[in-house]
Amino acid sequence: MNNKTYAICNIETDLKNIDFSQVGESSASTIRRSLDDTLFVIKYISEPSFIKDGTVKPSQTLTHSEALELMRSDAWSEPMPVEE
């Protein structure tokens, strides 16, 4: 069972405020980004201080299954090419 929380954040306003020692990603280069490069996702078990204090305000917080569903959406995944 995955007990992590997944937070969707804004690249322009939030990325600079992420303390990567408090989340499951190690740096800005390891985050998952939306295809339009406006959003990113971080995961954590304990709520990071930068979210608790309001420095970063995620647009959504998701469970693991909700995050997987979002990552399959057109905004986050390229469509698979159809082979003929």
Cβ(75)–Cβ(36) below 8 Å: yes
pLDDT tens track for 40-50: 999 999 999 99
CA 40/CA 5 separation, integer angstroms: 14
Cβ(39)–Cβ(59) below 8 Å: yes
Kindly report the backbone phi and psi dihedral angles of residue 61, in degrees, each rounded to the nearest multiple of 5, phi listed first: -125, 135
pTM above 0.85, yes or no: yes
pLDDT tens track for 12-57: 999 999 999 999 999 999 999 999 999 999 999 999 999 999 999 9
Residue 83 has pLDDT above 90, yes or no: no
CA 59/CA 81 separation, integer angstroms: 31
Q: Say what the pLDDT of residue 58 is.
A: 98
Residue 10 has pLDDT above 80, yes or no: yes
